[in-house]
Amino acid sequence: MAGASCHQYRHASLLLPRCQAYQTARALRQGAEALYHHRGTRKNGDGEPGMAKGHFRVLPRRIAGVDVVEATTNHSFARHTHEQFGIGLIHAGAQTSLSGRGTVEAEAGDVITVNPGEVHDGAPIGDAGRSWRMLYLDPPLVASLVDDVTEGKRSGCEFSDPVIRSTGLAARFGAIFAAAGAADGTETMLRWDELAVTLFAEAMQLAPTDAPAGVPRSVASAISLIEDDPLASLTLADLALESGLSRFQLVRGFSRATGLTPHAYLLQRRIDIVRRLIAEGTPLAEAAAAGGFVDQSHMTRVFVRKYGFSPGAYAQAVN
C-alpha cells in the first residue's frame, strides 16, 4: 500500500519551486492523438533527434493540468526532475531507477510514482527494454484532489512509495489512463473525476509525518542563488563564495542535499523554464533563448537527455 507525506515535500531536492507559473488551466484540447515514433537515431519532422531505441506516444492534453504519455524503450535516462506529480504503470519489461527513497526496481504490473522536484533516473533491466504508461499532473490539480479526499484537513502531500505492487491499484490506473486519453465530454470528465479521487485516495496515505530534515544553510544559500536567477552566468566559484565553502565542499554537499551537481541543477531549472514556455505555445527557438541555452540544438540535446523525447514532440502534444 502506498503512502504519502503530508508536508511540503520532504526531499531535500525539493527546494525546487512548487506550484509556480502553472498557467496550464487551458481549454480542453480536441483532436486526434499524436503518435511519435523515434527509432534508433532517426530525426523527427522538426529535424530534432528523437528518442533512441524505442518510441514515445504523447497524447494531446485533453484535461487541463494532465499530460498523458506511453513509452516503449531501452533508453537509459539521466538524472532529472519533473515539476509535476507522476503516476504510471509498467506493462512490459522491468527497470531500475534512483528515487527519493533510494534505488528501486519495477516490473510489469507495478505502479510507479514520482513527486515534483524528486531527482530520479531510469534504466532497463535486461536487453528487451520496458514499456510504461504515465500520467503527469500539475501540483494544483493534485492539491485539489487531496483537499477533496481529506475534506480540507490535509494539503501538500507526496507519494512515499516509488513502486507499488497492487493489482487493484494497477487496474484503477488502467481505467484512469484510458479516461485521460479520451476525455471529450461531460460524461467522460465525470468518469475522470471519480477515478482520480479514488486513485489518489488509495495511492496516497494522507497522514502527517515528521518534519523534513533541513538542507545545510551553506548549501541552501547556493541553491537560492540559482533559484533567484537561473539564467545568470554563475560559476562554481560564485556559488562557493555565496555558500562559504570550497568548490569541492560545495559540489559534495550540494549533491548530497539535492541529488544533483550544481551544474545539473542549473540545467534542470532552465529546462523547467523551457518546458513551461513550450506548453504556452512559445516557438522552440525563442524558448531556447529564454531558457538561457546557446541555441535550439543545445536545448534539444538537454531536453531529450532528460525526458527521452524532443521539444518538438512535446510542443505538438500540448499545443
Give me the amino acid identity at 61.
R
Domain boundary at 150, 178, 207, which?
207
Of the residues 182, 207, 232, the one at which a domain ends = 207
Q: What is the pLDDT of residue 28?
A: 26
DSSP letters, 62-125, are: -STTEEEEEEEE-PPEEEE--SSEEEEEEEEEEEEEEEBTEEEEEETT-EEEE-TT--EEEEES
Q: In terms of Cα–Cα distance, which of 112, 94, 96 is closest to 104?
A: 96
Same domain, 251 and 198: no
Q: Among 188, 207, 226, give the residue marking a domain's end.
A: 207
What the block records as the C-alpha cell of 10 is: 520532504
In a domain, 17, yes or no: yes
In 3D space, the residue among 82, 58, 73, 87 whose CA is nearest the CA of residue 123 turns out to be 73
Q: Has residue 40 been placed in a domain? A: no
pLDDT at 179: 86
The CATH number of whichever domain residue 253 belongs to comes to: 1.10.10.60
Helices (H), the chain: 139-149, 167-182, 186-203, 217-228, 236-243, 247-258, 262-279, 284-290, 296-307, 311-318
Q: Let me know whether 156 and 253 are in one domain.
A: no
> What pLDDT shows up at residue 187?
54
Q: For residues 228 and 253, state if they share a domain.
A: yes
User: Within the chain, which residues score under 70 in pLDDT?
Assistant: 1-53, 155-156, 183-188, 190, 205-214
| CA-to-CA separations, 197 to 7, 111, 176, 249, in angstroms, rounded | 19, 17, 10, 45
Q: Are residues 99 and 247 in the same domain?
A: no
Which pLDDT belongs to residue 123? Answer: 93
Domain annotation covers residue 256: yes
d(CA 114, CA 16): 14
Q: Which residue has the cell 484535461?
A: 63
Interatomic CA distance for residues 42 and 28, integer angstroms: 32
Residues near 310 by beta carbon (within 8 Å), at least 6 away in sequence: 38, 44, 46, 48, 49, 50, 51, 300, 303, 304
Does 34 map to a domain? no
Give me the CATH number covering residue 74: 2.60.120.280
Which domain does 306 fall in, by range?
217-318
Whole-angstrom Cα distance, residue 155 to residue 318? 28
In whole angstroms, give the CA distance from residue 116 to residue 97.
Answer: 16
Q: Of 51, 54, 50, nearest to 130 (Cα)?
A: 54
Domain co-membership, 249 together with 198 = no
Whether 9 and 152 share a structural domain: yes
Q: Within a domain: residue 162?
A: yes
pLDDT at 201: 80
Tell whether 35 is covered by a domain: no
Asked if 56 contacts 313 with a C-beta cutoff of 8 angstroms, the reply is yes
Report the distance separating Cα 240 and Cα 234, nearest Å.
10
Q: How far is CA 183 from the centre of its chain?
A: 22
Residues 122 and 165 in one domain: yes
Q: Tens of pLDDT along 45-88?
A: 333 333 445 787 888 888 889 999 999 999 899 999 999 999 99
**Residue 220 main-chain phi, psi, to 5 deg:** -60, -35
Predicted pLDDT of residue 52: 44
pLDDT score of 181: 80
The structural domain count of the chain equals 2
